[in-house]
Amino acid sequence: SGLPAFSVAGEDGWTLTDWFENIYLSQAGPENYDKLAAHKIPWTHPSVVKALTTLSELFKDKKLVAGGGKGALRTTFPESVEQVFGNDPKAGMVYEGDFVGATISGDLKKKVGVDAKFFPFPAVGDGEKPVVGGGDAATVLKAGKQRKAGMKLVEFLATPEAAEIWAGAGGFLSPNKSVKPEAYQDDITRKTAKSLIEAGNSVRFDMSDQAPAAFGGTQGAGEWKLLQDFLRDPSDPKATARKLEAAAAKAYKD
C-alpha cells in the first residue's frame, strides 16, 4: 500500500513497555517473564538482550515505523490510533490492548470489525503466542468500619455473575472461564475474551505494572524513558540492557 507497517506511540512511554513485554514473553517464556518481573534475573540477562535486539529490528526500520523513531517519539497513543484508522492514514497497523476499540468507535466514529480489523500479537520465533493483560485493582481498607461489607463486594466482583454485568457494559474482559461468551456485546470482544481464556498458563500480567513505579510507571524516568531513548537510537541493545538494570536495581532496592 506504500504505508509503513506500524504507528508507534513513542511519546507515551508505557506503550513501549508493552512492545517489549509481548516480545519477551514469547521469546523467553513465562518462567523467565516471572523472574524478570520480580527482578530475580537482571535486565542484562541474555534473554533480555535478545528481546531488545528483536525490538531494535522494528525500531530502526523506517519502512516499519511511521515517521521513524523521531516521528514515533512525537506520537501519543490516541494519535497512533488515528494514524491508522483516521481519514488520512499514515500506517497500516497499531499495536495496543483491546481498549484501542474504544478510541476507534468513540473518537474516530469507526466500527470495529468493519472499518478496523484486529489479530492477536503473533508468536516471536519459536515461542508461544504471548498474552499480556492489565487491569485496575480493588482495595479494601483494613481500618474501615464496613470492611466485611467491602470484602463481600470484592468477592462478588470476582464472580462470573458480576463479570457478565461488566461484559455487557463493554470495555471489559474477564479471565474467568465460567463467564458466558454471549455476555459480551459483540463478536470482536468475544474473540478477544476467548484468546485470553485459551492462553491458559501462558497469560501474564503487565510487567511494568508489577514493577516499582519509579522504574515501570513514571513518565520521563526508568523503563519508560530508557525505551524512549532506545526508540530514538536502537543501535546498542546491550547498552540499553545495562541502563535498564541500573534503573531497576535502584528502584527495587528503594
pLDDT, one tens digit per residue, over 155-176 is 999 999 999 999 988 778 888 8
Q: What spatial distance separates the first Cα and last Cα of the chain, rounded to whole Å?
A: 49
- The bridge status of strand 93-94 relative to strand 131-133 is unpaired
- Evaluate if residue 34 carries a pLDDT over 90: yes
pLDDT of residue 169: 84
pLDDT, one tens digit per residue, over 115-154 is 998 888 999 999 999 999 988 778 888 887 888 999 999 9
CATH superfamily of 6-131+207-253: Periplasmic binding protein-like II (3.40.190.10)
What rounded mean pLDDT belongs to the chain? 93
| DSSP bridge partners of 130 | none
What residue ranges of the chain are covered by domains with CATH 3.40.190.10?
6-131+207-253
pLDDT of residue 222: 97
* Residue 103 per-residue DSSP state: I
